Amino acid sequence: MSSKPFNATRVTHPPAPATFSCRDLVSIRDLVSEDIETIFHLAGLMKARPVKFQKSLAGKQIVMFFEKPSLRTRLTFEAGMASMGGWTSFVDQTQGRLDAREKLSDIAHNVERWVDGIVLRTFAHSTVENMAEHACIPVINALSDLEHPCQALADYFTLQERFGDLKNICLAYVGDGNNVAHSLLLTCACLGSRMRIATPRGYEPDPQIVADAQDMARTTGAVIEILSDPQAAVDGVDAVYTDAWTSMGQEHETEERDRIFPPYQMNDDLVSGAAPHAVFMHCLPAHRGQEITDSVIDSVRSVVFDQAESRLHIQKAILLLLLGGEFGRFPARSVHV
């Protein structure tokens, strides 16, 4: 396949589009390609000149409700807000679902009176959707069982920095058709890029996500292939990506998944089929020796920590675009009375 060779020179970010259409980031499906270009452009500026944004969110406050443990997501949102002069309150919901004690709409109507935005890391995707429906302030999906939009945006931002025009690259994802795979598929489709995903039979991505991605692809020119053969997926690609075989909440399936997924392990044999300039990706945390080997994740071609850094810049851009400051686009939605 035709692939753009590796270019060690940092890519110059294109001029920012004039619009940003979202009030929330619940799903990649909330975005159009111009929105992603806006996020990438702003993230590039913030990465290059962070001091210019030190007061961009002064006086702004967010609350983060997390039903799942976190390292990268929590720290990058907290550091991002602090670096722009904002403030963060963290609510640990790992001992009980967000709506177990109180009706979700009541939580939304309380929180919207106190802070400027809500960040959710939840099990059920409906929790994020319902919060966005009821809250008059922006809601950001920091992970749900269906999607992980901030991760996918950070991943494609990392690829853009490495390769330039994302229409010229092909990403292979091997492993479980999970929330990360879903958001990668939708981002690829939105950007008009190319992606192959290989999963064991029975572990394919959600059919509605695939259908939505294919619908986008018909407009953007993206190419999406759903396969079961990991070797075929990796052949000649510019990047190879994997994630944990067992996601949080699926621990009861660990033994069965450990039996089914070894042919999809991202090891030296598998990645040898990728292009010579290909990079190796993982959203972390990695289960070394399971879905990925030390020799791959520690390779000079691994960009896993670049991906982790990109989470900071992408989320800062999302926060600034949604919460306001000089880049703010929208007035607040009507306050409930």
CATH of 28-147+311-327, one of 3.90.700.10, 3.40.50.20, 3.40.50.1370, 3.50.50.60: 3.40.50.1370
The pLDDT value given to residue 222: 98
Ranges under pLDDT 50 in the chain: 1-18, 326-331, 334-337
Residue 328 confidence (pLDDT): 45
> What are the CA-CA distances from residue 239 to residues 21, 148, 212, 258 (Å)?
30, 19, 23, 24
Pairing mode, if any, of strands 139-141 and 61-66? Answer: unpaired
Q: Which CATH architecture has domain 149-308?
A: 3-Layer(aba) Sandwich (3.40)
Catalytic annotation, residues: 121, 148, 151, 243, 283, 311
Q: What is the mean pLDDT of the chain?
A: 92
Using the 8-state DSSP alphabet, how is residue 302 labeled?
B
Cα-Cα-Cα-Cα dihedral of 96, 98, 104, 106, to 10°?
A: 90
332 Cβ neighbours under 8 A, 6+ residues apart: 136, 137
Q: What is the pLDDT of residue 325?
A: 53
CA distance 147 to 244: 15
Can you read off the two tokens belonging to residue 315?
């989320």
CA dihedral sign, ordered 180, 182, 185, 187:
negative
pLDDT of residue 310: 98
Where in the chain are all domains bearing CATH 3.40.50.1370?
A: 28-147+311-327, 149-308
